[in-house]
Amino acid sequence: MALEGFGQIAEQLRRSTVQVASSSADGRGQGSGIIIRSDGAIVTNAHVANPERSRRVAGHSRLVVRLWDGSSFPASLQVRNARRDLAVLQIPTTGLTPATLANSENLRVGELVMAVGNPFGFIGAVTTGIVHAIGRRPGLGPTKWIQAEVQLAPGNSGGPLADARGNVVGVNTMVAGGLGLAVPSNAVARLLAGDLNQAPLGVVVHPAIVPVAGRKRLGLRILEVVRGSAAEYASLRQGDTLVGIEGQALRSLDDLEQAVEGGGDRLLRLEFVRGDPNKVRSVAVRLIVSQVADPERGRRAAMA
């Protein structure tokens, strides 16, 4: 018996999959996206809808979305969450065919999945495989990934990973160790509902081995402090190096991610080094996990 379905699902998914490109059309910075509402709302990866990169490439920050039928529209960036690598774009059109989001909590290891996207700019390429694992990846923090045995390539980013019914279970985001890694669709639902928290701490860090009190240990050097963030109100500065959390020495980047993730509003004590490597300083940061979309609230809480 022939397997009816793969072809059908591919055809249906293609109509809900778009190409996201910078307006320079030089082929760089291309990715995929998923139509999630008929009125032009599109989900993609934050690294695809990256205004900084589009500006560098194109000279201005316009993103262009191209539909399966070849028509293209300028897109505006509605929401961008770099931590979960998701973004929502809006294009000025209606009557689109949206994909159906599945509940990714119900996805099981072993299920058949299909990825649609534009690898290397080739429009609407389809690959299939099974769900290899669901959960954390070593080195990628505490976040949950759908790890699928599908062949992805640059350009697949932001495109749909769908189950055997053609419902979207994840957003293809990266390739690691031969597996395609997708952000679970429930994270998309949370982003759309507005309760996917932005970086609760508000720092960009880079791991570095630093001498602290004569001993070399892992530190996380702060490259950037987000304006209005909990870190700024706790007076952390660019150039500071985080070396511990709640008295425990940092062993990996995951430690910070784990300490920051979840757990509601609370105080988090961070140890850091500023200038003098022999002096470990300490600061209490008030994490506002429940709602960080409002920076004013962070300010009030931190000053309270």
6 touches another protein (CB under 8 A): yes
* Short-list 209, 267, 257, 207, CA closest to 233: 267
Q: Which of residues 50-109 bind another protein (CB under 8 A)?
A: 108-109
Residue with smaller CB distance to another protein, 44 or 186: 186
Token pair, residue 190, equals: 């949370």
State which of residues 28, 56, 137, 299 lies at the interface with another protein (CB under 8 A): 137
Whether the CB-CB separation of 286 and 267 falls below 8 Å is answered with yes
Q: Name the region of 140 (left: φ>0; alpha: ψ -120 to 50; beta: rest).
A: alpha
State which of residues 133, 153, 189, 253 lies at the interface with another protein (CB under 8 A): 133
Residue 85 CB, shortest distance to another protein, in Å, is 18
3 touches another protein (CB under 8 A): yes
Residue with smaller CB distance to another protein, 6 or 199: 6
Whether the CB-CB separation of 157 and 48 falls below 8 Å is answered with yes
Token pair, residue 2, equals: 């022939």
Give the residue numbers marked as catalytic: 47, 85, 157
State which of residues 11, 39, 111, 257 lies at the interface with another protein (CB under 8 A): 111
Q: Give the C-alpha separation, 24 to 60, whole Å.
A: 9
209 touches another protein (CB under 8 A): no
Residue 157 CB, shortest distance to another protein, in Å, is 21
Residue with smaller CB distance to another protein, 178 or 247: 178
State which of residues 129, 154, 207, 277 lies at the interface with another protein (CB under 8 A): 129
Residue with smaller CB distance to another protein, 8 or 235: 8
Residue with smaller CB distance to another protein, 144 or 299: 144
Residue 166 CB, shortest distance to another protein, in Å, is 9
Segment contacting another protein by CB under 8 A, of 17-25, 76-84, 141-149, 238-246: 141-149
Helices (DSSP H) in the chain: which residue ranges? Answer: 6-15, 51-58, 185-193, 230-233, 253-260, 295-303
Interface mask toward another protein for 153-192; x: CB under 8 A: ----------xxx-----------xxx-------------
Token pair, residue 177, equals: 């160790």
Bridge partners of 175?
A: 180
Q: Give the C-alpha separation, 259 to 206, whole Å.
A: 17
* Short-list 165, 44, 168, CA closest to 98: 168
Strands 86-90 and 112-117: unpaired
* Short-list 194, 189, 185, 145, CA closest to 165: 185
Binding site for another protein (CB under 8 A): 1, 3-6, 9, 108-112, 129-138, 145, 147, 149, 163-165, 177-179
